[in-house]
Structures are given as C-alpha cells and as structure tokens.
Amino acid sequence: MKSSTPYSFETILELPLPEAREKVLSALKEEQFGLISEIDIAAKLREKLGIEQPPHVILGACNPKLAYQALAENPDVALALPCNVVLREQNGKTMVSALLPSVALKPFKGLKVQESSCTAEKKLSRVFDALTTGINCH
C-alpha cells in the first residue's frame, strides 16, 4: 500500500532489496526517470566504520526534461537534484521512499520550477502506485 508523509511517498515491497531495486527501476523508467547515481549506504558504513547494516541504497533518479525546465529558470535547483529514492531492507521486505519534489523544490523561486516539481510529483506518485499495485499505466 502506498502511503505518504508530509514530505515523502512510501511503500513496502514484499521483496528483498535486489529484487525491489529492479522493480523500482522499471517503474521509474515508465515515468521517464533515469538512474544517474546509486549509493550503497550499507557498504559505505561497512567500509568506513566497520558497521554491519541491512541492505540500504539511495537511487538518484532524474527526469531530464523536468530537470532542464527547472534548471533553465533557476540554476540553484541543482542543489535539490536528483530525486532520491531510498530502498531499505528489513526482514526480507524493502521499504521504498522518496522525498516529495514539492518539498525539495519549495525554497526555489520560479513558476517553471514549481510547475516542474508538480509534474515530477505526479510522476513519482504514479511510480509508487505501480509499485503498490504491480500495474504500470501509461
């Protein structure tokens, strides 16, 4: 079930993180988001601090058209890019969450910036709907 907080979309997938990652990437691709970065939090904590953690990654997702529209009007928008989608495994299930673009871009001035954030948020909402239902609608 997709839920949200005042600042994020969230859902739990009944899959281990590697399988959930592929499902998330597929849903993002349906909404024209590409993967531009990936940070393995668990691996970094293990490497830097010797701490073992359950699988935990941050996927940096970007819709190039929307990013360009916002950046063309206000280059400072780069401070809030890309859209981070976080996957955190616990007990064989994966919590998937993403910061709402309207929250991330709220401080930045510009009509195109705000329009882009609304469009990105609608697209991310559809991503989370697809993850929850398993159905991708175009």
pLDDT single digits (tens) 107-132: 999 999 999 999 999 999 999 999 99
* Tokens 């882009």, located at residue: 116
Alpha carbons 110 and 137: distance in angstroms, whole number: 30
Model pTM? 0.91
pLDDT of residue 138: 43
**Omega within 30 of 0 (cis) for the link into 82:** yes
Residue 137 is predicted with a pLDDT of: 45
CATH (residue range 3-130): 3.30.310.70
pLDDT, position 135: 55
Which residues of the chain register pLDDT less than 50? 136-138
